[in-house]
């Protein structure tokens, strides 16, 4: 039995679909109450209600599971209300690991993020690091995947920015637009996750994932504008300005920018090896530009 936690998320939805096609009747998806409908239309999946902050619900969900995919998190674009980064990313992952160990789950594949480091106490990055550490320190056979930004149907990185760029007369070049990214197709991350679960040589490894090209943030903004057929004045905004903006925006219930996002734009989000997926998993990942030319960006 396979269990997907974070099944209703961007990566999770694609993963459940692919896993269920490959192993019909052997896929269980943890969904938060009221979220079942997100997976409607995917046959061969059993859903179980639960929450990573509720240990009892996890004990039920992991029963009889051999391989667990953990792609649940509070991502940096969400406001840190009531210490939610810590509760979900750190305590939630510790709960998952404890429940899985107790139930005799063999394998865990965890979705982390490229460039995750220990970070400062109290930072978003620290919660991402401790989330990964919970898997590394477990008795489970673990693999951590650390993708750069993802593209594909439902990608918040591209779709949220496209929505903002449609409305605003200027496009902000966060951090001056110089940070580099290596966009990777969601289906390729899913493929890497499933292959990781199948391959013994991936046990105990933290694997970075990136697509075949590097882009600066400025180049990505240009690609998004082209995809939505808009021309905008580009305004370089240094990270310190963004940091002040993020603090000011934090009074809003759904801020367009958070302090966690400032953290994530403060380093290059690329792997040293541009062919990392081919070298690790033996397949060629998709390129961003042809994908955008064919599918555009929903905004
Ligand atoms: N997308 C990217 O470009 C990208 C890049 C690098 C790394 N990653 C990492 O990959 C992982 C998945 O990313 P994503 O883009 O798929 O995120 P996402 O779309 O925001 O999905 C997050 C998932 O976590 C679930 N979740 C949140 N709180 C929960 C809780 N208390 N209990 C149970 N489930 C909970 C959400 O459930 P609900 O639907 O109920 O909210 C959702 O299914 C994250 O760790 C992310 O940082 C993503």
What is the DSSP code string of the chain? -EEEETTTSHHHHHHHHHHHHHSTT-EEEEE-TT-GGGGTT-TTEEEEE--TT-HHHHHHHTTT-SEEEE-----TTS--GGGHIIIIIIIIHHHHHHHHHHHT--EEEEE--TT-----TTSHHHHHHHHHHHHHTSSSEEEEEEE--EESTT-HHHHHHHHHHHHSSEEEEEGGG--EE--EEHHHHHHHHHHHHH-GGGTTEEEEE--S--EEHHHHHHHHHHHTT---EEEEE-HHHHHHHHHHHTTSSS-SS-HHHHHHTSS-B--S-TTHHHHHHSSPPPPHHHHHHHH----
Spacing, Cα 169 to ligand 1 middle (Å): 30
Query: Minimal CA–CA distance to 115: which of 19, 198, 20, 180?
Result: 180
Q: DSSP class of residue 44? A: T
Q: Is the predicted pLDDT of residue 238 greater than 90, yes or no? A: yes
Which pLDDT tens digit goes with each residue over 195-227? 999 999 999 999 999 999 999 999 999 999 999
Average pLDDT for 26-48: 95
Predicted local distance difference test score (pLDDT) of residue 256? 84
Ligand 1 pocket, residues with Cβ under 6 angstroms:
6-12, 32, 35, 51-53, 71-75, 88, 92, 111, 113, 147, 149-150, 157
Cα dihedral sign, 13-19-25-28: negative
Mutational test site, ligand 1, from 75, 158, 261, max ligand atoms within 8 Å of CB: 75
Output the residue whose Cα is nearest ligand 1's atom 15.
10
Phi-psi region at 229: left, alpha or beta (left = phi > 0; alpha = psi -120 to 50): left
Residue 299 has pLDDT above 90, yes or no: no
How far apart are the CA of 233 and the centre of ligand 1, in A? Answer: 32
pLDDT at 171: 95
Q: What is the pTM of this model?
A: 0.97
CA of 111 to the centre of ligand 1 (A): 9
What is the position in ligand 1's atom list of the atom closest to the CA of 72?
A: 24
Question: Between β-strands 215-216 and 180-181, what pairing exists: parallel, antiparallel or unpaired?
Answer: antiparallel
CA 29 to chain centre: 17
Q: What is the pLDDT averaged over residues 8-35?
A: 97
Q: Please give the helix or strand (H or E) that residue 233 lies within, else none.
A: strand 233-237
Q: How far apart are alpha carbons 246 and 240 in whole angstroms?
A: 10
The closest alpha carbon to 287, from 215, 195, 206, 221, belongs to: 215
Q: Which of 63-67, 99-103, 160-164 has the lowest mean pLDDT?
A: 160-164
Mean pLDDT, residues 274-297 taken together:
97
Cα–Cα distance between 149 and 144 in angstroms, integer? 16
Cα of 276 vs centre of ligand 1, distance in Å, is 23
The answer to whether residue 19 scores a pLDDT higher than 90 is yes
Q: Ligand 1, atom 35: nearest CA belongs to which residue?
A: 72
- Do 159 and 124 contact (CB within 8 A), yes or no? no
Q: How many angstroms separate the alpha carbon of residue 23 from the centre of ligand 1?
A: 23
- Residue 283 in this model has a pLDDT that exceeds 90: yes
- pLDDT tens figures, 242-277: 999 999 998 999 898 899 999 999 999 999 999 999
pLDDT on residue 257: 86
Domains of the chain: 2-151+183-210+270-284 (3.40.50.720)
Chain-centre distance for alpha carbon 30: 17
pLDDT tens-place string over residues 124-142 = 999 999 999 999 999 999 9
Q: At what angle do helices 156-167 and 217-227 cross, to 10 degrees?
A: 70
Which helix (H) or strand (E) segment holds residue 56: the answer is helix 55-61
Is the pLDDT at 18 greater than 90? The verdict is: yes
Tell which one of 55, 72, 147, 150 to mutate to probe ligand 1, the residue whose CB is within 8 A of the most ligand atoms.
72
Nearest one of 37, 4, 36 to 20, comparing CA atoms:
4
């Amino acid at each position: 039995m396979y269990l997907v936690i974070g099944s209703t998320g961007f990566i999770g939805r694609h993963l459940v679909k692919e896993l269920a096609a490959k192993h019909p009747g052997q896929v269980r998806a943890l969904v938060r109450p009221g979220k079942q409908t997100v997976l409607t239309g995917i046959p061969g999946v059993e859903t179980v209600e639960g929450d990573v902050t509720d240990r009892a619900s996890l004990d039920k969900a992991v029963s009889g599971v051999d391989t667990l995919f953990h792609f649940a998190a509070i991502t940096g674009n969400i406001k840190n209300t009531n210490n939610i980064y810590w509760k979900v990313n750190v305590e939630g992952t510790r709960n998952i690991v404890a429940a899985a160990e107790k139930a005799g789950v063999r394998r865990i594949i965890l979705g982390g993020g490229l460039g995750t480091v220990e970070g400062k106490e109290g930072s978003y990055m620290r919660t991402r690091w401790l989330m990964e550490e919970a898997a590394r320190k477990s008795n489970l056979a673990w693999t951590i995947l650390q993708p750069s930004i993802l593209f594909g149907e439902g990608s918040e990185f591209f779709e949220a920015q496209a929505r903002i760029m449609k409305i605003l007369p200027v496009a902000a070049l966060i951090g001056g637009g110089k940070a580099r990214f290596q966009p990777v197709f969601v289906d390729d991350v899913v493929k890497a996750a499933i292959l990781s679960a199948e391959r013994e040589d991936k046990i105990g490894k933290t694997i970075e994932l990136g697509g075949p090209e590097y882009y600066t943030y400025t180049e990505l903004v240009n690609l998004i504008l082209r995809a939505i057929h808009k021309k905008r004045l580009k305004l370089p905004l240094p990270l310190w300005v963004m940091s002040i903006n993020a603090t000011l925006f934090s009074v809003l219930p759904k801020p367009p920018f958070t302090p966690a996002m400032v953290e994530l734009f403060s380093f290059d989000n690329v792997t040293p090896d541009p062919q990392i997926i081919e070298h690790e998993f033996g397949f060629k990942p998709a390129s961003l530009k042809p994908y955008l030319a064919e599918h555009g960006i929903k905004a």
